[in-house]
Structure 1
Amino acid sequence: MTRRLALVGLGPGDPELVTAQAARVLNEVAYFLVADKTGQHPGTADLIAMREAICERHVTGEWRLVHVPDPERDRADPVDYATAVRDWHEARAQVYEQALLDNPGDAAVLVWGDPALYDSAIRLADRIVERGRVEVAVEVVPGVSSVQLLAARHRLVLNAIGGPITITTGRRLLEDAADGDNLVVMLDGALTCRRLPEPWTWRIWWGANLGSSDEQLVAGRLDEVADAIWSRRAEVKQGRGWVMDTYLLRRR
């Protein structure tokens, strides 16, 4: 019997940013699957608590979380990065598959932000379908992304008039900045923008833990505010145990 597997974008943490569609789907499934990283990173228990707060706000009946231990990912810089990520995705597919086998009924995966932007939930669901051990119909529910909230908080239009925008990662920033003038950067724990040549030619709009109670925002000329951003980022991580940040770079 085919079951429903909904990948629900929750937005970046604020219960008020959950869409009406997402709230409806949360009320239609039997349980919620949530990645549990507390075994390797105790500070991430806060991320589970924030998901619980969203469920308490939007689910009108009884609800339950199924904690899925998240396989540890090798954070070193491997020679073959793509293969390392695929191996991690395969390990995640196996533990989520087992959770579905152990828990009958329709389920939702609680996705931070939006499932379509730098998140592995859709690939995870596709791999579960390919493996064929549990029959599911996959549904994707979009959510507000941190990129959208970053633009709103700084009152920005992400693209210049008639111009392109590149969404990239810290890993690729130095390469992409050689040809791009307008870049959104995600997954950059090293704040790679500090290594850009001629930093005075760039302006940055940065945000961390957007949508949470300790949200942080900094904007200015890159050479003037980069150190302040790095310090602010460290303070947030120390206080919370985790930090999620993104930023827009625009050549002046």
Structure 2
Amino acid sequence: MTATAPHQPDVAAALAAVRRVRPLVHCITNDVVMNSTANALLALGASPVMAHAPEEAAGIAAGAAALVVNLGTPTRWRAEAMRLATAAARAGGIPWVMDPVGVGSSPWRHDLARELAGARPTVIRGNAREILSLAWGETDGAGVDSEAGVSEAAREAARALAQEQGCVVAVTGFVDFVSDGERELHVHNGHPLMARVTGTGCMLGAVLAACLGAGAPPFDAAVAALVLFGLAGERAGAGDVGPGTFQVRLFDALAALGPDDLARDARIAP
């Protein structure tokens, strides 16, 4: 299949909208990155709420501008909260992001991810290994991290998954890839230290939800979030920096970036 050439997403407008709207993002995320995810959203200009209880998940999702569901540390009760929140988001027309962290780690996690994908996420974001597993059904028992680039197999899996679920799929790697099954783009922004700090992908999923919650169309929101987070990584990693300093500087960079920076420094290609 030959992908069509999409219009160039207005990544600057997406960031400006987040700063203007300050969308409330409901995060059902993993225990490892909860604090970092909240701080990333606050630095960006969005408003996070971390609500995992099944008793309130649907109500909070219904009142949010966007939802992100992250499978990093799933439990039976958290899985139920995810089901309720995604159903409420779908019923209310609220955009939501699925982050299938470690989807191939176990059959139970894989089955949960496939079930949630049936609730029609607006965007699915994962690394190459996760997208391959979610699309093709592989459960390899590996951990949640991946050093794999976005191979042609991963791009094909992303296209197939996007067509199957009627959504946008964003695959992160050395070069990021975005597809809606027809249109596709590559994003070349980023820094190697992003792979040495836990939770950068999870934070990215929340940033993507913020762009959706501020009104950006799904394809544009995915590209804008990848550019935005990649540029923040580039600025955070400038100079002689280690992983610890990088993480702190990443929050500073998210706060300091402006729409003009994105318009000037975005590296987007077919």
- TM-score calculated relative to the size of structure 1: 0.31
Bigger proportion of residues as strand: 1
- TM-score calculated relative to the size of structure 2: 0.29
Rg larger in structure:
1
Bigger proportion of residues as helix: 2
